[in-house]
Every structure is written in C-alpha cells, then in structure tokens.
C-alpha cells in the first residue's frame, strides 16, 4: 500500500525498547515531573464528515486575501465531492506506469482499469459499447458529429440543437468546417428544442444526424420522445450528450433511442481545478462499433487460462492510414478515466443516486427561495430542471455578482443581460443556500436606499 508511514508491529516496538534500554514507552517520559503530566480527557470536537473536515482545515489555512468561493456555478463544470482515497489509489504503481496499453504484457493494470471504465460508462448510458476515454466532452461530441456524417451515404448536414452548450457547439462547428460538412442549428423555444423547426428540417431530408443535450445547457430536462424514430427514418444517427452523474436518475441515452452517447465526465468526482482536466466519454450501439473512434479494451485469457486484457479495436491513425482513421486525436485522458473508475466503484449505484437527489433537491430549494424574494422570475416558465436552472434578475446583474463574490459566493454564470444560471451539487448545504439568498436581499435593500 502507498502509506506515508509504516505502522510498527509489537515485535518492532519491543526491539526498539530493548535497544534504548527501557522496559516500556512510559519510561521514556520518566524525566517529566508527575505534577506536569496531563491526566484528564482531551477536549476533542465531535467527529466530522470528510467534507466538513476538509472545509475546517481550508478555513484554518486561508492566508491573506486568498478566498475560496462557495460555488453555485456550473455550465458544464461542477463542484462535486470525491472520497480522498481516490487520490491515493490513482498513485499506485499498477496504474502509474510509463508503458502504453499497446504493450499488453507489461500494462495489465492500465488495460484493466480502461476495461472497467468502458464497462461502467456502458452501464451508465445503457449503450452496448464504450471506448477508452476521449479528450473531453466537447471533442467527443464533435467526433460523434463526424461519425454521423461518415455513416451517411447521402446527406446535406448534421443538425445540432440550440440547447446544446455553446462551448460544445463551437468545437463541433470547428471540426465540421475542417472536415468539410455543414452544421445546421435547430432553434429553441422556451429553453427546449423547437420540435416544429426540427420537423421542418427533417422534411427537407438529407439529415446525417441530430445532436441534443440532456439536461440541456439551461439545466432543463427535455422530452425526446419520438425523436430517435424520426431521425432513423432519415437513416441518420441520434446523438445524446448527457451529464453522466445525472444518469443515476434520468433516462439513459439508450432509453431515448440514441445511437451514440457522449459527454463530459468531470461531474463524476473530478475536481474543478480551474477548468481542467476533464474526461470525455463516448458509447454507441454495437451496430456502430466499427465507426467508433479511439480504442476498445477487451477481456481474454492468457496461455495459462488466467484473465487478461488486450486492445481489441484500434481505429486510430497510429494503426491505419490517416485518411481512413476514424479519429486523428491520439490522446485520451487515461488518468482521469482511472479517477472516474475508482470514484464510481466507491460511490456505487446508491451513492450516485444520493448525489443526484441532493443536487436536485438543493437546486429546487434555491430556485423557490430566489423567486420568493420577488427579485427574480423564471426564465423558462414551467420547464422541468434537474440541478441547474435559469432565472431573470430585475436589476444590475453584474453588480449583484460582484457583491456575491465580495461575500465569498460565486453565484452562478451570467448567460444573458438579465439571466443568471445557478447550479447546486451535494457540496452545497442548506445554510449556504440561505446565506446566498440573504446576501442578494441585503444587496437589493442597500441598492434601493442609495
């Protein structure tokens, strides 16, 4: 094990006492006067959870003007808890190796965790096959667009919903531009995909595929019933970009009839760390397996009949002609895939579900309290949301956000002149939610006086 120190056995202790010439450890303190020795009980505080203990020491170590903001921001990067044991396990020598997966005989640890990662992603998404990790969620989505275009015999464009994260859309558009195929944006109505606009695009024909997001960029849980069938009638591919953490409760991409599931795995316990690194995931139906970029690790038996792991499929430019490669990115986020694998193993199905439920409950509580102040209104009335939502503020939003930062709170992401998007995870407490609302109310009251 990767201990910072090695605990001593009783034999070790006796050997050390023998060397020092004393009979017991108490004899080592014989020079301390009896009157000076403490004989009472230590005033130790009550036990703390790991999260509370981290917060306690962070508060003790805050220096000068350094400020750790309470994070209610999301928009694709979320403040989730991860057990401290994850950091320890990813440093084990079985995983931290300089050998690449191509040298199977000396990289079984690496191949093993990639295999488990693939298995877990396939289970989370409900898809048949998952590849080794992608660079990030945005490039994974762009690769899915390329899959759709490459799979189409006759097509004019790949459709992308306007409710997909704008950052992801820009990456998809960049890929499409340099690979020579057009992207067409399907507009939104009240924060969700405009079905009438989609029907019109489909009626024109030549659609290679459609990319949507769940929950969408605004945090709304969209209803994609019937969309897969409509896309398949066009011989196109239905791609769902899904937040994997939310799949503990929400319908899986497979249940929506998706052909390809992609997304960013940062929400699976990876620290925010100023925006990276993250890890992209990609999964698909068995029918599309040969179109899947990256590589797939499989399980087999060695010549002694023992379980072993090997690279089963490698449709990348390193192994075939560049122009025939499904992807020209030869980097994946293997360390982050290991991080996600250990996180999922530790949390389990119940832990993931609890995380999702806490985020859902916290977000709905915060939204209700903000609306109750009279300072906000719903941006998308009546739309269901998960752990992220948008509200419109009836004042100077920039000034409000500055005030929240001054009080130690990162109060969401500005997505419009008056529109604020806030996210709540299991890290946020009821006390923090109430304090944020109080800060906003006090700021508005002082603003009114001025």
Residue 356 pLDDT exceeds 80:
yes
In the sheet that holds 183-186, the strands lie side by side as 129-130, 280-284, 260-264, 237-242, 207-214, 157-161, 183-186
Which residues make Cβ contacts (< 8 Å) with residue 370, sequence separation at least 6?
376, 391, 422, 437, 440
368 CB neighbour count, 10 Å cutoff: 9
Angle between helices 334-372 and 430-449 (to 10 degrees): 50
What distance in Å separates the CA atoms of residue 193 and residue 162, rounded to the nearest whole number? 7
Q: What is the DSSP string of 153-196?
A: SS-SEEEEETTS-HHHHHHHHHHHHHHT--EEEEPEETTEE-HH
The whole-number pLDDT of residue 37 equals 84
Lowest mean pLDDT among 14-28, 42-56, 266-280, 389-403: 42-56
pLDDT digits (tens, 9 = 90+) for 125-164: 999 999 987 889 999 999 999 999 999 888 999 999 999 9
CATH 3.20.10.10 fits domain 70-81+348-449: no
Residue 65: pLDDT band (50, 70, 90) is low
Residue 116: pLDDT band (50, 70, 90) is very high
The whole-number pLDDT of residue 329 equals 64
The whole-number pLDDT of residue 56 equals 80
Angle between helices 137-151 and 166-179 (to 10 degrees): 40
**Do the beta carbons of residue 164 and residue 241 sit within 8 Å?**
yes
Q: How far is CA 440 from CA 219, 245, 398, 406, in A?
A: 22, 29, 12, 12
Q: Which of 52-66, 283-297, 408-422 has the highest mean pLDDT?
A: 408-422
Residue 316 pLDDT exceeds 60:
no
The whole-number pLDDT of residue 1 equals 44
- CA 156 centroid distance within chain: 33
What share of the chain in percent tops pLDDT 70? Answer: 92
Average pLDDT, the chain: 90
- Residue 421, SS3? strand
366 CB neighbour count, 10 Å cutoff: 25
Average pLDDT for 110-114: 90
**Do the beta carbons of residue 416 and residue 407 sit within 8 Å?**
no
Query: CA nearest 260: which of 135, 146, 385?
Result: 146
- Residue pointed to by tokens 């709170």: 409
The whole-number pLDDT of residue 132 equals 82
For CATH 3.40.640.10, list the domain ranges present in the chain.
85-344
Rg of the chain over all Cα atoms, to the nearest angstrom: 27
Which residues make Cβ contacts (< 8 Å) with residue 107, sequence separation at least 6?
97, 99, 100, 101
Average pLDDT for 372-388: 96
Query: CA nearest 275: which of 137, 419, 83?
Result: 137
The whole-number pLDDT of residue 237 equals 96
Average pLDDT for 224-232: 97
Query: Exposure pattern of 187-196 as b/e (b: 16+ CB <10 Å)?
Result: ebeebbbbee
Q: How far is CA 416 from CA 147, 221, 399, 413, in A?
A: 33, 20, 14, 9
pLDDT digits (tens, 9 = 90+) for 12-35: 889 999 999 888 888 888 888 888
Average pLDDT for 184-200: 97
Residue 319 pLDDT exceeds 80:
no
For CATH 3.90.1150.10, list the domain ranges present in the chain.
70-81+348-449
**Do the beta carbons of residue 317 and residue 325 sit within 8 Å?**
yes
What distance in Å separates the CA atoms of residue 162 and residue 220, rounded to the nearest whole number? 13
Residue 63: pLDDT band (50, 70, 90) is low
The whole-number pLDDT of residue 436 equals 97
The whole-number pLDDT of residue 357 equals 97
Q: Which one has a higher pLDDT value, 229 or 98? A: 229
Q: What is the DSSP letter of 393?
A: E
The whole-number pLDDT of residue 60 equals 72
What distance in Å separates the CA atoms of residue 272 and residue 80, rounded to the nearest whole number? 8
Average pLDDT for 304-324: 73
CATH 1.10.357.10 fits domain 85-344: no
Residue 220 pLDDT exceeds 50:
yes
What distance in Å separates the CA atoms of residue 260 and residue 156, rounded to the nearest whole number? 20
**Do the beta carbons of residue 268 and residue 256 sit within 8 Å?**
no
pTM of the model: 0.84
Residue 384 pLDDT exceeds 70:
yes
**In what helix (H) or strand (E) does residue 390 lie, and over which residues does it extend?**
strand 388-393
The whole-number pLDDT of residue 378 equals 96
The whole-number pLDDT of residue 323 equals 64
The whole-number pLDDT of residue 154 equals 86
Average pLDDT for 330-355: 89
Query: CA nearest 117: which of 349, 297, 327?
Result: 297
Average pLDDT for 401-413: 95
What distance in Å separates the CA atoms of residue 238 and residue 148, rounded to the nearest whole number? 8
- Dihedral of the CA atoms 134, 173, 260, 109 (nearest 10)? 0
């Amino acid at each position: 094990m990767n201990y910072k120190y090695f605990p001593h056995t009783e034999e070790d202790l006796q050997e050390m006492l023998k060397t020092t010439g004393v009979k017991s450890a108490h004899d080592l303190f014989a020079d301390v006067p009896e009157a000076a020795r403490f004989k009472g009980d230590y005033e130790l505080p009550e036990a703390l959870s790991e999260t509370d203990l981290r917060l306690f020491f962070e508060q003790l170590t805050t220096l000068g003007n350094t400020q750790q903001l309470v994070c209610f921001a999301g928009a694709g990067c979320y403040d989730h808890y991860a057990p401290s044991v994850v950091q320890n396990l990813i440093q084990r020598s079985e995983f931290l190796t300089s050998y690449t997966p191509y040298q199977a005989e000396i990289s079984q640890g690496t191949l093993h965790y990639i295999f488990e990662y693939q298995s877990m992603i396939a289970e989370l998404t409900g898809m048949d096959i998952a590849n080794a990790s992608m660079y990030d969620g945005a490039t994974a989505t762009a690769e899915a667009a390329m899959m759709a275009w490459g799979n189409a015999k006759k097509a004019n464009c790949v459709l992308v919903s306007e409710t997909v994260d704008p950052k992801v859309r820009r990456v998809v558009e960049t890929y499409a531009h340099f690979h020579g195929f057009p992207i067409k944006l399907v507009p939104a109505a009240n924060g969700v995909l405009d079905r009438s606009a989609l029907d019109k695009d489909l009626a024109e024909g030549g659609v290679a595929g459609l990319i949507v997001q769940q929950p969408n960029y605004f945090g709304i849980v969209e209803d994609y019933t019937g969309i897969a069938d409509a896309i398949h009638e066009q011989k196109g591919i239905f791609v769902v970009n899904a937040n994997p953490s939310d799949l503990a409760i929400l319908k899986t991409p497979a249940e929506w009839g998706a052909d390809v599931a992609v997304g960013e795995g940062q929400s699976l316990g990876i620290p925010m760390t100023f925006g990276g690194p993250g890890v992209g995931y990609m999964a698909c139906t068995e029918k599309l397996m040969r179109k899947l970029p990256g590589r797939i690790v499989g399980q087999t038996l060695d010549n002694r009949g023992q379980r072993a792991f090997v690279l089963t499929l490698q449709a990348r430019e390193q192994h075939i002609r560049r122009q025939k490669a499904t992807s020209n990115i030869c980097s994946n986020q293997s360390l982050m895939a290991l991080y996600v694998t250990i996180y999922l193993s530790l949390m389990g199905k119940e832990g993931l579900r609890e995380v999702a439920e806490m985020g859902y409950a916290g977000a709905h509580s915060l939204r209700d309290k903000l609306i109750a102040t009279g300072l906000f209104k719903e941006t998308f009335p009546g739309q269901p949301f998960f752990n992220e939502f948008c509200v419109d503020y009836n004042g100077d939003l920039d000034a409000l956000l500055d005030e929240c930062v001054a009080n130690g709170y990162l109060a969401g992401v500005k997505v419009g002149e008056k529109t604020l998007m806030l996210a709540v995870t299991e890290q946020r407490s009821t006390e923090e939610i109430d304090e944020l609302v109080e800060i906003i109310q006090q700021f508005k009251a002082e603003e009114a006086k001025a």
